[in-house]
Copies of this chain bind each other. A is one copy, B any other.
Amino acid sequence: MELMGDKNDLPKQDQQWARQAWAHLSRVRQQSPLIQCITNFVSMDFVANVMLAAGASPAMIHSIEEIPDFTPKAHALYINVGTLTPDWLPAMKLAIQVANENKKPWVLDPVAAGASGFRLKACLELLGMKPAVVRGNGSEIIALFKGSEDSDSKGVDSMHESTDAVEAAKSLAQVSGSIVSVSGAVDIVTDGQRVVGAKNGISMLQKITATGCSVTALIAAFVAIDPSRAFEATASAFSVFGVASEIGMDMAKGPASLRMHMIDSLYGLDQATVLHRVNISAI
């Protein structure tokens, strides 16, 4: 009730975003897009369960031998460098190439992009292969931006707030042609011109491993069902994940029960809740 009151006072724009988020989630549930995931060892189980709860159909297939047969069947491709080793890169690149040839969108999660020279170089090579969307935290997006500018700053610096990363994100979007998004207290999405902030979510997500990986996977599922509007689909995915975590937090007693309740909530999200809670606005 209070929520309805609050939302009735919101500007019209916000309600359009909320309706759009519900439309995107509904379409994922109806179409169950097949998402090929080449991701890290830590997150595979959690990512798969988040995608299933949202209605998508994840497939963790990373063998280079399978890509010519399988990748054309997928509706989107998710690439995550969390536990990257050199032997995984050729499969990532071939899957991207096949996705691009088949005009299927793909999404990049440049985990810890600045952790090493090897990793930054790999992320920049992947970025050059035109992802529909890049999703990182502030440090990762700044590392990519500086790296793409041929800077020699390669350190990890988790001190960057996502709001500080807005300028880097805009510039990176302009240079790369990708939608660039930054997780943080407010999640930022930009195509280089427009910038929106998705304000749902809770801070305790940082105490659960692979929540960033999971929201990127969700972005891949949302972009799969609306590929020509990746900017909007990305904002919807952030919000749906954020709302599910807010509802989960109401029942949680710590990070492990939050993780469980968040997945349950994502599975059960209904239209009224999405319309009342989604909070996206231009920045």
Contacts and interface: CB of A to CB of B under 8 A. Distances in A.
Interface of A: 40-46, 48-49, 52-53, 58-66, 68-70, 73, 82-86, 112, 115-119, 154-156, 206-210, 252-257, 259-268
B116 A70 contact: yes
Contacts of A265: 254
Nearest to A91: B85
A85 B69 contact: no
A209 B52 contact: yes
Contact of A44 (B41, B53, B117, B254): B41
Contacts of A209: 45, 48-49, 52, 58
A83 B112 CA distance: 24
17 contacts: A40-B60, A41-B44, A42-B45, A45-B46, A49-B256, A52-B206, A53-B256, A61-B115, A63-B85, A63-B86, A66-B118, A69-B118, A70-B116, A253-B264, A256-B259, A256-B264, A257-B261
Given A45-B210, A73-B156, A208-B49, A65 B116 contact: yes
Contacts of A52: 206-209, 255
A110 to B, nearest CB: 14
B53 A82 contact: no
A202 to B, nearest CB: 14
Shortest 7 CB-CB distances between A and B: which pairs? A254-B264, A256-B263, A69-B116, A48-B209, A66-B116, A65-B118, A254-B267
Contact of A53 (B41, B45, B69, B254): B254
A71 to B, nearest CB: 10
Contact of A60 (B41, B116, B154, B253): B41
Nearest to A267: B254
A264 B119 CA distance: 33
A255 B49 contact: yes
A210 to B, nearest CB: 7
B207 A117 contact: no
A58 B268 CA distance: 31
Contacts of A263: 254-256
Nearest to A264: B254
B69 A115 contact: yes
A119 to B, nearest CB: 6
Contacts of A41: 41, 44, 60
A206 to B, nearest CB: 8
